[in-house]
Structure 1
Amino acid sequence: MLVELGKPLEVIDVALAPPAPGRILVRTGATPFCATDVLNAQGLFGKVPPTILGHASTGVVEEVGPEVSGVAVGDRVVVHGTAECGRCFYCVRGRPDQCSVIFDRPAGPPVVGTLPDGRSVTAAGNVGGYAAMMSADARQVVPVTTSLPDAVLGMLGCGVTTGLGSVFNVARVVPGSDVAVVGCGQLGLWTIQAAVLAGASRVVAVDPDVTRRELAVRCGATDVVDPAEADPVEQVRALTGGYGVSYAIETAGPTDAQRDALLMTHRAGTVVLTGCAPTGSQVVFPQVPLAIQGRAVLSSQNGNVRMHHDIPRYVRLLEEGRIDPTPILTRTYKLEQINDSLADSRDLRGVTTVLIP
């Protein structure tokens, strides 16, 4: 739990409230540690302690509150970083990735319990996955029937859906095309695998870390670029006859990476932005490539996923071995080792660690 900004996360007993209308209690199976929570712990994304971090997970439903439908006690579920209420302004316009359950909460994240000293505790991302039990909104879970282990299934709540959705739902990569993936952490490695599945003939992986570039090749990248060697934009253009790629998908976070992604595409190319820098960061794009040269610049909140449609599809891809979590899942930790997981993410040791209570 984030108890104080800039301090280590703590494991503390929380008295969870009975599930309110529309909410459920889920016994946590596994929660991947997300790199954004390194920034959250430092107070750079606006989280207000005390709050339970972890915005995507998996587990088994233990209790349902009033007005819950579509999920029952005993169901194994993916707890997703995006909701899908089906009724808000955005859902009825076909954009559940912007569902009001997540983004239109003037009172902030829901209060899910209290600390021994009486302070109220919230669930970050409306999930609070770094805990043995989650109080989640029922509109953020998808029941699944699969033999996939919890450590893999938990990654479907954010990493898998963002990576695959950025290729399939947002960029809509077509066979035979060139794709650059800027950043080869968890999101980038899932994105590379998705680009291969989509039939891209060239997949260029851009990352300063040699180990991650090696993992990118293992995931299907045909070329790798080290931005420390030379201008990454010029390196990508040199690989594509001077034109640039048809699709550039940024999965890194820094604003410079997003600018580079734009410039790596040829005229009329497609740029997909997934990363987040600290709140208040601004991206500066040169005007002519942005406004005159026909590029489509698209944002990807969790891969513009439609939970109940996409998650079962991605489960099948994992079951069939068409996408592989092995290069991405570095190790598992017990919940009481959460600060080791945070340190691994902060220091780029491995790719993804998963917390198993």
Structure 2
Amino acid sequence: MKTMPTMRAALLRGFEQPLTVEEVELLDLAPTRVLVRTKATPFCSTDVTSFHGRLGKVPPTILGHAAVGEVIEVGGEVRGIEVGQRVVVPGTPECGDCFYCAAGHPDQCAELFDLGGVYPDVARTSDGLLVNAAGCVGGYAEIMSVSRNQAFPVDTDLSWEVISLLGCGITTGVGAVLNVARVGPDDAVAVVGAGHVGLWAVQAARLAGAREVVVVEPREHRREVALEVGATVAVAPEDALAAVRDVTQGRGADKVVEAAGPPSAQRLALELSRRAGTVVLSGLKDASGEVSFSQIPLAIHSRRVLSTQNGNVRMRRDLPAYIRLLERGALDPAPLITSTYRLDDINTALRRSERLEDLSGVFVF
């Protein structure tokens, strides 16, 4: 009888309890799944929310919903993925067969969203508990057991740390601008929030030819980074309306991308847009959160209010394009990778993320 390998993983055993790094035994590999040795995983602020129990995760679980690694084993029914390949494991699978994939929205793939938050078990603890992989990834671990539909081979010499950002931050920020808002030359763009998603949105807006990119961010050091990566103006929230109106002859922004999360940020995004403008919402702070909008600007002024998950990307189409942009320096990851960590540093990374000290802290294995 084959013995499955063991690995070290950071487990969330209970909400608001320190994560524990433990050795766990992987479960048998199903025919449609792939084992990936993790090489790098960015710590996402979403996992701070999960730590506090606000996103419906079920402990014990391995957080980390985007990563990159090397394939070490494939199930018997897996085709097109080979041992030794580099693969990006993003936050969303693409099965290609469900209603949403067929309708051109693989970002809503049923393989993830029809689970209702009940993620697959991938390992067992030394005390016999089954461990699930949050987001069907479980990136805070030495090995990931993932669906064949959530592992995308890449051919690039970019570092593991940079490639890891292609599973969440880059795809969400760049995709929100190019795929959803469809920013074009001469657009005036506002980006609400200058974290790891907002700063990628700034870079994408610059690449798309936006004439103005106004960033709204309460923290001065993040506003400075926003200016470094392409914002034309960076202001605190209380100055946002005046700043946007100043560069748009009083109309408001043509396109607004919200990348912050709180309901107040999403209301502000609507207020910053002009009549018949486009507002893209991407943030989430609490699964039970609610947002209220004024009815006239929402219903009468012909605004397009859209939401996005993972930038509405199609990984097989967009991933090679984003890699080329990184390779030629058109997208710059350097200002965003603010810390690197080892797995044993998991609680340090969590605290630094919660205190907004990191933009992207990346675990390197």
Relative to the length of structure 2, the TM-score reads 0.96
Does 2:296 match 1:291? no
Q: Distance in 1 between matches of 2:115 and 2:50?
A: 18
- AA partner of residue 122 (structure 1): N
Alignment of 1:133-172 (within 5 A): 133-172=143-182
For residue 263 of structure 1, report the CA deviation from its aligned partner: 1.0
Q: Distance in 1 between matches of 2:65 and 2:214?
A: 29
- The residue number in structure 2 matching 1:105 is 115
CA offsets, 1:213-239, max 9 Å, x none?
Answer: 000000100011112xx3533432233
Alignment of 1:54-73 (within 5 A): 54-73=64-83
CA offsets, 1:148-193, max 9 Å, x none?
Answer: 0111100000000001100110011111110000000000100000
Does 2:42 match 1:24? no
Q: Distance in 1 between matches of 2:151 and 2:174?
A: 19
Q: Distance in 2 between matches of 1:324 and 1:231?
A: 28
CA RMSD of aligned residues (A): 1.0
Aligned pairs, how many? 355
Deviates more, 1:18-27 or 1:321-330: 18-27
- The residue number in structure 1 matching 2:271 is 263
Instruction: From 291, 294, 317, give the equivalent of 1:309.
Output: 317
- The residue number in structure 1 matching 2:189 is 179
CA offsets, 1:123-172, max 9 Å, x none?
Answer: 00000000010011110111011110111100000000001100110011
Q: 2:214, 2:243 within 8 Å by CA — same for their partners in 1? A: no
Q: Distance in 1 between matches of 2:325 and 2:222?
A: 23
Does 2:53 match 1:43? yes
Q: 2:172, 2:312 within 8 Å by CA — same for their partners in 1? A: yes
Q: Distance in 2 between matches of 1:93 and 1:333?
A: 39
Q: Distance in 2 between matches of 1:350 and 1:161?
A: 19
- AA partner of residue 292 (structure 1): I
Q: Distance in 2 between matches of 1:181 and 1:237?
A: 14
- AA partner of residue 311 (structure 2): G
| Residue segments in structure 2 that go unaligned for 5+ positions in a row | 1-10
- The residue number in structure 2 matching 1:124 is 134
For residue 70 of structure 1, report the CA deviation from its aligned partner: 1.7
Instruction: From 246, 262, 274, give the equivalent of 1:254.
Output: 262
Instruction: From 204, 209, 222, give the equivalent of 2:214.
Output: 204
- The residue number in structure 2 matching 1:276 is 284
Q: Distance in 1 between matches of 2:56 and 2:75?
A: 29
Relative to the length of structure 1, the TM-score reads 0.98
- AA partner of residue 304 (structure 1): N
CA separation of 1:106 and 1:66: change in aligned 2, threshold 3 A: farther
- The residue number in structure 1 matching 2:6 is none
Q: Distance in 1 between matches of 2:141 and 2:272?
A: 41
Instruction: From 231, 234, 258, give the equivalent of 1:224.
Output: 234
- The residue number in structure 2 matching 1:34 is 44
- The residue number in structure 2 matching 1:91 is 101
CA offsets, 1:259-318, max 9 Å, x none?
Answer: 110110110000000000211100101000000100000111000000111011101100
Q: Distance in 2 between matches of 1:320 and 1:172?
A: 22
- AA partner of residue 82 (structure 2): A
Q: 1:249, 1:261 within 8 Å by CA — same for their partners in 2? A: yes
Q: Distance in 2 between matches of 1:284 and 1:83?
A: 31
SS at match of 1:272: strand
Q: 1:18, 1:65 within 8 Å by CA — same for their partners in 2? A: no
Q: Distance in 1 between matches of 2:235 and 2:160?
A: 33
Identity, in percent, stands at 54
SS at match of 1:122: strand
| Residue segments in structure 1 that go unaligned for 5+ positions in a row | none
- The residue number in structure 1 matching 2:361 is 353
- The residue number in structure 2 matching 1:335 is 343
- AA partner of residue 66 (structure 1): G
CA separation of 1:180 and 1:115: change in aligned 2, threshold 3 A: same
CA separation of 1:106 and 1:188: change in aligned 2, threshold 3 A: closer
